[in-house]
Amino acid sequence: MNTLRIAVPSPSQWAKGRKFSRRALMFIVAFVTTTPALAQSTNDCRLITDNTTRLACYDTQYGPPLSEPPRAKADEQTLSALERRERSEIELQQDWFALTPYRPNYILPATYLDNADFSPYAEFGDSGKIKDVEAKYQLSVRTLIWPKMFQSNVDAWVAFTLQSYWQVYASDISAPFRETNYEPEFFVSTPLKWDVLGWRLHRLNFGLVHQSNGRSEPLSRSWNRVFGQLTAEQGNAALYAKAWWRIPEDDEDDDNPHIERYMGQGEFGGAYHWGNHTVALIIKNNFRSENKSGVQLDWSFPLTHHLKGYVQLYSGYGENLIDGPNNQNRVGLGLMLTDWL
């Protein structure tokens, strides 16, 4: 007859068994909790399609991301006014074909024109009804179409500027837009880092520009140019020099045979940012013995956090295509939406 025997551990054996069980249990728990992390290698994380899960995988491997060291405000303060504006635009241009300001954008609800010549409108019977007080506004944007062309430091841009003169107070003639100039352009731009007489040469641009008022004869005005522009900066000040050459047209197609005599063959400009105020000066010149120039003076000042007041003075020739041959003076008051600097 077989006898069933049950071995009962001695007290010393029982104590050793308890220690072994605790160690085994601790090993199992540790293995279970660490195995997923060990199994998810860096390559495994990259295979995860869900963004949240993939980020958690990387956090498990390497821990949460280190906070970016705060950029010293002193670094921002060392940038010139022109560099600060350019940095903000570059951030926006990370999206392809994002529109950023080019020239200033503004609205002048009321401008007064002195020594106006409205004779070009005589054929339409409106010249006597056009007011010396009108609105003027400008919208100007650009977009980056080819950054770092051919692996170089040259960027390709397209820009568009619209400047309009609105007879908003001439209700007798249905408040028309008296003159609107459309100016699309293409240009390439490369940064410079040369110091000359305390100024840093900032950018060199070359481009092609068309300007037209979109009208038919006898009010049609248009021309095409190639241009070069050099920009320099120093602290809160920026300067530029721009020269152009008009692309010739056939005599029978040229409705502006001498447009460069009053629209100029180049211009010089400068802006200074002082606190929340900006002053700017633009001088347009034809570089001829029969000198005809146009001068524009701008002053923008703070109104609210995102809005500036704006005063504009213009004196001379070439303010726009149809008024270009006339020596006139204009003063306007309004709002500046985006500034020079």
**In one letter, which amino acid is 184?**
P
- The contacts of residue 317 (CB under 8 Å, 6+ apart) are 262, 263, 264, 284, 292, 293, 294, 324, 325, 326, 327
Q: Is the dihedral of CA 326, 328, 332, 336 positive or negative?
A: positive
> For residue 136, with 0-12 CB atoms within 10 Å meaning exposed, 13-18 middle and 19 or more buried, which class applies?
buried
What's the rounded Cα separation, in Å, for the pair 10 and 254? 117
Residue 46 has pLDDT above 80, yes or no: no
Give pLDDT, residue 14: 44
How wide is the angle at C-alpha 31 spanned by C-alphas 29 and 37, nearest 5°?
A: 120
Q: What is the pLDDT of residue 301?
A: 97
Q: 251: which 2 tokens?
A: 């005599």
Segment 201-217, tens digit of pLDDT: 999 999 999 999 999 88
Nearest to 298 by CA among 276, 323, 320, 279: 279
| Catalytic residue IDs | 210, 212
- Does residue 38 surpass a pLDDT of 70? no
Cβ atoms within 10 Å of 262's Cβ, excluding its own: 22
CB 329 within 8 Å of CB 115 = yes
Beta bridge partners of 297: 281, 313
- In the predicted structure, residue 334 carries a pLDDT above the cut 60: yes
Mean pLDDT taken over the chain: 84
At 43 the pLDDT is 58
Give tens-digit pLDDT for 79-102: 777 777 777 666 666 666 788 999
User: If you write DSSP's letter for every residue of 104-121 in order, what string do you get?
Assistant: -EEEEEEEEEES---GGG
What is residue 117's predicted lDDT score, i.e. its pLDDT?
94
Return d(Cα 97, Cα 252) in angstroms, integer: 38
pLDDT of the residue at 211 = 97
pTM: 0.74
